[in-house]
């Protein structure tokens, strides 16, 4: 193994530092959708971003991929991918990495595929552009990718239009498309949320296996804790655009270090204990245009005390490689173990 390869494994593949995303408005009162988010993903690692809908997961992912919607901008922070600062890249440089280095799988397989183009051609598009394949070779690769996603009769399926396929098949096509150029990093935005549970499970397995085969790292966004636990090794829990807790999946599951994470577990169904009563989190996430001072979870937190609503609540390491943004993490969770 070369020195370069060794140093790569030391350096993270993706490094997001102090990322702040918002909607700048001239009239003041701008909304901050993501605030001071930092995390790193090593090569081949599967990293999860979990949180309720609206917590800024998709925006974080879109900022990494350079696909923020019109009007939404990165206000602060840095994103490095493979050592390159992606935020300062020209559109041309950006296009050169999208596909062969970094790929994305979207939430809605129903709308994420071009409705007027055969799926095989859509898969072949990336390899043609980035790998310099001929039309025929790219088409062959597309059929092969479809085969690898476990779809029977791949050559015939390649000629199908998206509307002729079920949601599960379409999402497999999306996976085939994202992995067709062997990217180092695959960004997934709730890739299975739109699917029913059995299909969801198959698609997750497939995704994990193909990423392993290709050595691709994964950054996986979901609101579903069960899905991260099945897919990822490390995760961040996001709330109101901020990271509340970060740690290895197993440790966060066994001993959450933030009241929001704990509440999230209690509000989610548990397959091991189906009889347990679900406890939805009372209240609503805070306003993004006018966030309250202090801990953003304070209005809904059962442990909140007066000091929670003042000062900044930075992420601090409360255990080895396990970070929490809760001031009281030690008092609340420390004593129980």
Partner 1 sequence: MLSRLKFVPMRLLQAVPVAFGVTLVVFFMVHLIPGNPAESILGAQATPAKVAALTDQMGLNQPVVQQYWHFLSNLAHGNLGESYTYQVPVLTLVWQRAPVTLLLVAYSVVLMLIISIPLSMLAASRPGHVRDHAVRVIPLVGLGMPQFWVGVMLLLVFAVGTGWFPVGGYGDTMMDHLWYLFLPALTLAISISPVIIRSLRASMLNVLESDYVATARSKGAGGRSLFAGHVLRNAIIPAVSIVGVNLGYLVGGTLVIEKVFAIPGLGSMLIESIFARDFPSVQAVALFVAVFVVLVGVLTDVVYTLLDPRVDLTQRMNA
Ligand X SMILES: Nc1ncnc2c1ncn2[C@@H]1O[C@H](COP(=O)(O)OP(=O)(O)O)[C@@H](O)[C@H]1O
Q: Name, in order, each residue with C-beta under 8 angstroms of 50's C-beta and a sequence gap of 6 or more.
A: 57, 221, 222, 223, 224, 225, 228, 235, 236, 237, 238, 264
- Residue closer to partner 1, measured from CB, 126 or 286: 126
Handedness of CA 273, 274, 276, 281 (dihedral sign): positive
Identify residues 260-319 at the interface with ligand X (CB under 6 A). 288
- Strand pairing partners for 98? 102
The answer to whether 26 contacts partner 1 (rule: CB under 8 A) is no
Any idea what the Cα angle at residue 88 is, between residues 83 and 90, rounded to 5°?
105
The answer to whether 20 contacts ligand X (rule: CB under 6 A) is no
Please answer whether residues 29 and 94 qualify as being in contact, where contact means their C-beta atoms are separated by less than 8 angstroms. Answer: no
Window contacting ligand SF4 (CB under 6 A); options: 40-48, 196-204, 276-284, 324-332: 324-332
Window contacting ligand SF4 (CB under 6 A); options: 34-42, 88-96, 186-194, 295-303: 295-303
Identify residues 25-84 at the interface with Mg ion (CB under 5 A). 58
- Residue closer to Mg ion, measured from CB, 66 or 120: 66
- Smallest CA-to-CA distance from 233 within 93, 40, 62 is with 40
- Choose the one of ligand SF4, ligand X, Mg ion, none that binds residue 308, judging by a C-beta under 5 to 8 angstroms depending on kind: ligand SF4
- Smallest CA-to-CA distance from 226 within 196, 194, 257, 253 is with 253
Q: How far apart are CA 85 and CA 79, in angstroms?
A: 6
Q: How far apart are CA 17 and CA 260, in angstroms?
A: 22
Query: Binding partner 1 by CB under 8 A: which of 16, 33, 49, 97?
Result: 97
- Residue closer to ligand X, measured from CB, 239 or 333: 239
Query: Binding partner 1 by CB under 8 A: which of 16, 104, 211, 288?
Result: 104
Identify residues 30-89 at the interface with ligand X (CB under 6 A). 33, 51, 53-59, 69, 71-72
Residues that bind ligand SF4 (CB under 6 A): 258-259, 295, 297-298, 301, 303-304, 308, 313, 326-328
């Amino acid at each position: 193994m070369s020195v370069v390869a060794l140093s790569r494994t030391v350096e993270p593949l993706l490094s997001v530092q102090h990322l702040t995303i918002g909607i700048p408005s001239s009239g003041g009162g701008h909304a901050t959708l993501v605030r001071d988010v930092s995390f790193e993903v090593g090569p081949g690692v599967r990293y999860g971003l979990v949180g309720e809908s609206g917590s800024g997961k998709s925006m974080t992912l879109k900022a990494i991929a350079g696909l923020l919607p019109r009007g939404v901008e990165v206000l602060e922070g840095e994103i490095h991918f493979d050592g390159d600062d992606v935020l300062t890249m020209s559109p041309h440089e950006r296009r050169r990495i999208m596909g062969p280095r970094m790929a994305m799988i979207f939430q809605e397989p129903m709308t994420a595929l071009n409705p007027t183009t055969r799926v095989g051609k859509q898969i072949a598009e990336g390899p043609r552009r980035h790998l310099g394949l001929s039309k025929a070779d790219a088409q062959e690769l597309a059929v092969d990718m479809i085969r690898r996603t476990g779809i029977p009769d791949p050559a015939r399926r390649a000629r199908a239009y998206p509307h002729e396929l079920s949601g599960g098949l379409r999402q497999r096509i999306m996976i085939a498309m994202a992995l067709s150029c062997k990217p180092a990093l695959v960004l997934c935005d709730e890739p299975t949320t739109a699917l029913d549970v059995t299909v969801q499970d198959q698609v997750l397995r497939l995704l994990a296996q193909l990423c392993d085969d290709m050595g691709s790292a994964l950054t996986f966004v979901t609101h579903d804790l069960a899905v991260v636990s099945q897919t990822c090794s490390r995760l961040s829990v996001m709330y109101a655009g901020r990271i509340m807790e970060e740690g290895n999946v197993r440790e966060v599951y066994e001993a959450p270090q933030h009241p929001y994470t704990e509440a999230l577990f209690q509000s989610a169904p548990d397959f091991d204990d189906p009889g347990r009563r679900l406890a939805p989190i009372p209240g609503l996430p805070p306003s993004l245009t006018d966030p309250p001072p202090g801990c953003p979870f304070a209005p809904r937190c059962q442990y909140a005390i007066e000091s929670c609503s003042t000062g900044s609540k930075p992420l601090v390491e409360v255990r080895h490689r396990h970070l929490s943004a809760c001031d009281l993490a030690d008092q609340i969770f420390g004593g129980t173990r």
